[in-house]
Chains A and B, each alone.
Chain A
Amino acid sequence: MSTATRDAVSRKIVETLASFGPAIDDLRPEATLEELDIDSLDIAELAQVVEDEYGVEISGDDAAGVTTVGDTIDLVLAKLP
């Protein structure tokens, strides 16, 4: 996977998370989903966005260990073909 692709996917994830409420500047990699008020429904929707855009399925188990924005991006990048 190219760096450009990874950057595009990361941007898409951050944009999607921002659509749930947080300011885009607050979506630093180390920011926790809890402090950003991003909850399990938001993550379920993000999973659907990722599936629609990239054909990658994120299960509830996959998402269970995710606590920060960086974790979220890493999870999706790890699933990309």
Chain B
Amino acid sequence: MSAKYPRAHEGVALVTGGSRGIGAAIAKTLAADGWPVAIGYRSGVDQAQAVQAEIESAGGVATTLQADISQAGAGDALLADAQEALGNPVLVLVNNAGVRRDGLSPQITDDDWDTVVATNLTGAFRLTRRAVRTMIRARFGRIVNIASIVGIKANPGQSNYAAAKAGLIGMTHTVAAEVARRGVTVNAVAPGFIQTDMTEELTEDWLKLIPARRLGTPEDVAAAVRFLASEDAAYVTGTTLTVDGGLTA
């Protein structure tokens, strides 16, 4: 383990939605930095175990934990399970789990709205609420909320997702200010268009809108999370780091 991450001896990392895409890349990156990683997943057990196997074959430590964080009590249980499985409290929390139910506002149903807000925002808040209690006692903690540029800039067809992600950014600012003097940082990362299952349907036309002229990779996002989770980022809190190839520049 790198001496740069001494806290990895005292804590573990939890990445929700860690079985695939951006979450899987984040889990692997944090593990490479020496953090034992709990890979939270809702339904992709095989994918989650594949991420775990990849981490372990690279010499890292990981476990997989099933949870539907939209359910009350699931966040508390997930944090407790991570501590039990890996032997130390969660000092790095990456709220990455997300779902989409796209449609123009007139067509968004109550269920579309509630499902997206429950996972992307409420689930992240409940995990944050519990994790931060341990972090303030530890005088160290890193919370990274995976938002989206949709929380910053309009994207027709995603009013529910946009509201949840903007909410996540607002929550990030305020919790950061609440706990900053205990050595706990809270930041958001706002990916643009990233090559994952969630962006498969994007057409070539979209690329013309991106100054970098390419989709981002999960590793591009993981690199930003790696920095924000590191000791080096101790004075960076309450910010939103866009990882979007210049799309919102």
Q: Which residues of A contact B (CB under 8 A)?
A: 41, 44-45, 47-49, 51-52
Q: Does B248 have its Cβ within 8 Å of any Cβ on chain A?
A: no
Majority DSSP secondary structure for residues of B touching A: helix
A48–B179 touching, CB < 8 Å: no
Do the beta carbons of A44 and B136 come within 8 Å of each other? yes
Q: Does B196 lie at the interface of the complex (its beta carbon under 8 Å from any beta carbon of A)?
A: no
Q: Chain B residues with Cβ under 8 A from A49's Cβ?
A: 137
Cα distance, A52 to B178, chains bound together (Å)? 21
Residues of B in contact with A (beta carbons under 8 Å apart)? 133-134, 136-137, 178-179, 181-182
User: Can you list 14 A-B pairs with a CB-CB distance of less than 8 A?
Assistant: A41-B136, A41-B179, A41-B181, A41-B182, A44-B136, A45-B133, A45-B136, A45-B137, A45-B182, A47-B133, A48-B133, A48-B134, A48-B136, A48-B137
A17 to B134, CA, bound (A): 17
Q: Which residues of A contact B181 (CB under 8 A)?
A: 41
Residues of A within 8 A of B179 (CB): 41
A48, closest chain B residue (CB): B133
State A49–B133 Cα separation when bound (angstroms): 9
Q: With a CB–CB cut-off of 8 A, which chain B residues contact A45?
A: 133, 136-137, 182
